Amino acid sequence: MTGGRGEGGALLTPAPGESPIVVLVRPQMAANIGTAARAMANGGLFHLRIVAPRDGWPQPNAYAAASGADAIIDAAQVFPDIASAVADCHRVFGTCPRPRHVIIPMRDARAAAEDLREINGRGLRVAVLFGPERAGLEADDLAHCDTLVRYPLNPQHTSLNLAQAVMILAYEWWMQAETTSPRDFQMNETRPATKGELENFLTRLVDELDASGFLHNAPKRPGMVRNLRHWFERGEVTAQELRTLHGVVTELSRGRMRRGRFQDNDPPPWASSLGQEKDQP
């Protein structure tokens, strides 16, 4: 059954080599299968197997919920039971919110993703089971697993829908190989200013503040200059921002030279507005 990729489906293809197989066990709604496929596509997973879907297969509604992940649904395989779905696998993980009375390795999603990368890296095939929407995997389902995956969540509310459960694992799988820096500073077409450029600006700023009389209080002047310096030094000021600030200082200096300094007893025009703000509740 085609999903209409020509109508907006993404051109998704499986990654070379082995990658985790997502196995949905007895899913109850086509929309949940579709949103699970969407989550898989977000995390770079492709292989989907469906065990005994309640409403049969294929189901057209799955495509609408997949939001373009049609190729994953097109390639999905259907099996009557878990044993046949994982028969060609070397390892089987199972998501389980409340494992009881079982001795078995346990992983959170991040550790499971690390294991999946390592297992697939050795050319071994691994499946991850996700249970039905209402109650998850049953004890007999978990008997097919050699490792359980549990998501540590708020103990007062641990409920996840099927797609969310798939998304968490898919995200952790993707992040194992993601090279994007976890912290960045968006600068568009500019660059960070050098310390020399910043020092040049601060020297000019202080000179203009001295000339305008802002730093006339000699005992307080060193502390005020330090405060200004700390303000600009604590962040990554960009070259473009410094150019803008130089322009600001230039125009302020020109205005001061045209109008002259305010007399010590004459408050600047903006002083009254500051006073009004302080009076406001």
Q: Are the C-beta atoms of residues 217 and 261 closer than 8 Å to each other?
A: no
Phi-psi region of 139 (alpha: psi -120 to 50; beta: other; left: phi over 0): alpha
pLDDT digits (tens, 9 = 90+) for 188-214: 888 888 999 999 999 999 998 888 888
Mean pLDDT of all residues in 275-280:
46
Percentage, residues of the chain above pLDDT 90:
53
Per-residue pLDDT at 265:
54
d(CA 25, CA 10) in angstroms, rounded, equals 25
Omega of the bond leading into 269 within 30 degrees of 0 (cis):
no
6 has pLDDT over 80: no
